[in-house]
Structure 1
Amino acid sequence: MRQCERFADEKKVDVIELIAKCTKDLRHIATEELYDLVLDVYQRNDDCDNALALWYKMQEADVVPSKKFVQNICSMLKANNKNLPLELISLLDKETRSKILNQ
């Protein structure tokens, strides 16, 4: 995980995504944490398009996003006046949903 954090600092998201893809079915590796790291890089760069692309890749690979991931991507998209996919909104709890949608 430390190495992946280093890759995130170096903005090597392709490497982290590849590791996440390869470790998807391994129980001792928290794949969702790897996707959180990738999203963190996109947030630092304010890159909504790649953040959404990451979300869709996760959907295709049947990866369940962490609560942190869902909150962060929704906040990021809302802050940049982007449309929020209904699938993302439905993953938010009621309180967080109203907070993000009413920003």
Structure 2
Amino acid sequence: LVAFRRLAPDRSELEFAHALLRANFWDGGDPSSDEFYRGLAVQLGLDPETFVETMHTDEARDGALYDFALARQLGADAFPRLYLQTREDYLHLIAKGYSPFERVQAIIDKILQ
């Protein structure tokens, strides 16, 4: 995710997360291999070698450690979890585990009122 943020800063992280989860859980890819991420990069229109090189930088490692620390701080102990970050940089927990779209939409609408 950190490499995607760096190489495609104007694109949604959800795009990468969706591709990653699909490649892992649907297609049975091995996320411990560089080849897995090369394939994701190609799928997302990014240079695969640059993507993998960026993944292996200290900056990417530090960014990933920060993301994991933030997840622990938020108590993200279930998958999936959905948060909404408001302009005030406050994170609202929207869903823990599966939630139907209608419920998620209602919670988001209430927060944004």
TM-score (norm 1): 0.29
The structure carrying a bigger helix percent of its residues is 1
Which structure has more relative contact order (CA 8 Å, sep 6+)? It is 1
Instruction: Select the structure of larger CA radius of gyration.
Output: 2
TM-score (norm 2): 0.27
